[in-house]
Amino acid sequence: MDTPAALPPHVKALLDAGAYPHRSGPVRLIQTHISWVLLAGRFAYKLKKPVALGFLDYTSLAERRRMCEEEVRLNRRLCPRVYLGVVPVTAGGAAYRMAGGGAAIDYAVKMRRVPRRSMMPEMLERGLVTDAHLRSLARTIADFHREAATDARIAAFGRVPAVRRNWDENFAQVRPYIGHTIAAAAFDAIASHVARFLREQGALIELRADAGRVRDVHGDLRADSVVYGSGDAPCVMDCIEFSERLRCGDVASDVAFLAMDLERRGHRALADAFLSCYLERSPDETLPAVLTFSMCYRAFVRGKVHSIEAADPGVPDPQRQAAAETARACFRLAVDYAGRARRPALVLMCGLTGSGKSYFANALAGRLGSVVLSSDVVRKELLGVDVRTPVAAGYGQGAYTEEQRRAVYAALRERAEPHLGAGRGVVLDATHAARSERDAGRALAARHGVPAVVVWLTTGEETVRDRLEARALSGDAISGGRWETYLAQRRRFEPPAADERAVAVTPSAALDRDLDRVVVAVGALTEPARSQ
């Protein structure tokens, strides 16, 4: 139990089990830089610290109460069964109680406690997070993002001036920690990266805001927030309530936060898988192009948060020391993200339906910071139907005629043009079964002075059959490919010739290692971008 002498009297009093209106047993205190959390029996009570940190101000009782109410309202969007309401901390004479009969001197968010073994960090440590867990979480977040509020006012929170303001604010708040948790050279490298990205890709940020990608989202999506219960959908807690401008943002920022946190914890393969699953559920062609920039931001913010915690005299010394180490690790990761920029390339995915091509393409685009354009998505857009609408037709019929196939490939290359022209890499996710299709892609790359790389996925027939059967049963897959499609494609498939120097991949369980190999191959053609 953390019981530093600096605790205010009412928080000290709430460490007594008798201060609660229910049986609690021993009470445990957990501190963050902005909260005291009291674990009392079946419930947890979160109190706001009366602090002003620039990005929040909890110094008034009225504001702490309002923020408790906001926390409950907002978190019920993704975790309705956990957030029970707001209760007063009362004073009666010299006694303080939770929800007692005296005057309210503070407020707390009352929550139902969740088992630690069901929380994502514990499950990660025990190796219990499966592909099914990642898929259910990606589905939950993608669906939440699709329904989250957006309008012109919210969109402004994700435009270039707001993004620049958030970065500038964070730079100002981190400067006092230079030489403590972050080196001056690291700080300068991150600042240079941010300035360059906003200068070169500010138009992409604006494009995403115009497209409705900026929404009232979670804002603090880390492994610590994810709880798995007995049902399919996980509970996602602890969204940002104290600042609308920090909570509202590009949906990519939520995805980036969890991906960054998984990578920081040593689970890069799970980060890759989460991105792929999210994009399968919610196609978003430009999200991967802003992902690494957003991951850099999230790592930097966590470095700041842990730096504040490390400097808080009210936090126990062991926790402060651990916070300082975590801050340094987060800042190192931010520097790494800042250095991952590469010259653009055109990647031509190649492989039969069911080979895992789209899953791999999504993750690869995230690694490369490239736009990902899908033939399945483009086909349905050309038909004027929703991407989730099944297209029932045999291969060579309806939506899959030779004429329609040529139109889809032409549209893919046409959509790639402005991105390549703007200095963004592109991954074309399509079968590219004919050499002529791959040659057309290479010609496109040559016109823009960028290298073209063919990534050829080959997968065993039994795996393909199982995957396509599962796809048919799901009923909501974007691809309309079935076993008959696979057989027909195999008959007409022209494998890449030796002179095409394709990177051949047989997908394994180690997605991150497969991606590493392809990224290295692409990197042989595209040296890391140098600072201007």
What whole-number distance in Å separates Cα of residue 249 and Cα of residue 219?
8
Q: What is the pLDDT of residue 271?
A: 96
Mean pLDDT of the residues in the chain: 92
CA angle (391 as vertex; 386, 396 as ends), nearest 5: 135
The dihedrals phi and psi of 65, each to the nearest 5 degrees, come to -65, -45
**8 A C-beta contact, residue 98 and residue 24:** no
Residues 6+ apart with CB under 8 A from 238: 75, 220, 224, 225
Mean pLDDT of 465-487: 77
State pLDDT tens for residues 22-58. Answer: 988 899 999 988 999 999 999 999 999 999 988 889 9
What whole-number distance in Å separates Cα of residue 454 and Cα of residue 273?
22
What whole-number distance in Å separates Cα of residue 363 and Cα of residue 350?
15
Q: What is the pLDDT of residue 529?
A: 47
Q: What is the pLDDT of residue 391?
A: 66
Q: What is the pLDDT of residue 434?
A: 95
Give the pLDDT band (50/70/90) at residue 232. Answer: low
Q: What is the pLDDT of residue 483?
A: 81
Report the residue count for the chain.
532
Q: What is the pLDDT of residue 476?
A: 65
Closest by CA position to 331, among listed 177, 176, 220, 221: 177
Q: Indicate if the pLDDT at residue 155 is higher than 60.
A: yes
Q: Indicate if the pLDDT at residue 263 is higher than 50.
A: yes
Q: What is the pLDDT of residue 93?
A: 75
Q: What is the largest CA-CA distance in the chain?
A: 86
**Residue extents of the structural domains in the chain:** 9-113, 118-338, 346-525
Closest by CA position to 89, among listed 112, 113, 68: 68
Q: What is the pLDDT of residue 402?
A: 84
Least confident window among 65-79, 111-125, 284-298, 380-394: 380-394
First to last CA, the chain: 51
Q: How far is CA 90 from the centre of its chain?
A: 40
CATH class of domain segment(s) 346-525: alpha beta
E strands in 438-491: 452-457
User: Coil, strand or helix: which one is 530?
Assistant: coil
State pLDDT tens for residues 106-132. Answer: 999 999 999 999 999 999 999 999 888
Closest by CA position to 181, among listed 313, 340, 299: 299
State pLDDT tens for residues 432-462. Answer: 999 999 999 999 999 999 999 999 999 888 8
Give the pLDDT band (50/70/90) at residue 485. Answer: confident
Residues 6+ apart with CB under 8 A from 207: 286
DSSP state, residue 108: E
The CATH architecture assigned to 118-338 reads Alpha-Beta Complex (3.90)
Mean pLDDT of 351-375: 95
User: Coil, strand or helix: which one is 8?
Assistant: coil
Give the pLDDT band (50/70/90) at residue 269. Answer: very high
What whole-number distance in Å separates Cα of residue 29 and Cα of residue 47?
11
One fold for both 118-338 and 346-525?
no
Q: Indicate if the pLDDT at residue 376 is higher than 70.
A: yes
The region that residue 371 occupies, defined by phi over 0 for left and psi between -120 and 50 for alpha, beta otherwise, is beta
What whole-number distance in Å separates Cα of residue 204 and Cα of residue 201?
5
Q: What is the pLDDT of residue 375?
A: 94
Residues 6+ apart with CB under 8 A from 258: 137, 141, 221, 222, 223, 226, 271, 274
**8 A C-beta contact, residue 507 and residue 356:** yes
Give the pLDDT band (50/70/90) at residue 397. Answer: low
The dihedrals phi and psi of 353, each to the nearest 5 degrees, come to -60, 140
**8 A C-beta contact, residue 361 and residue 456:** no
Residues paired with 226 in a beta bridge: 236
Strands 248-250 and 214-216: antiparallel
State pLDDT tens for residues 247-257. Answer: 999 999 999 99
Mean pLDDT of 168-189: 97
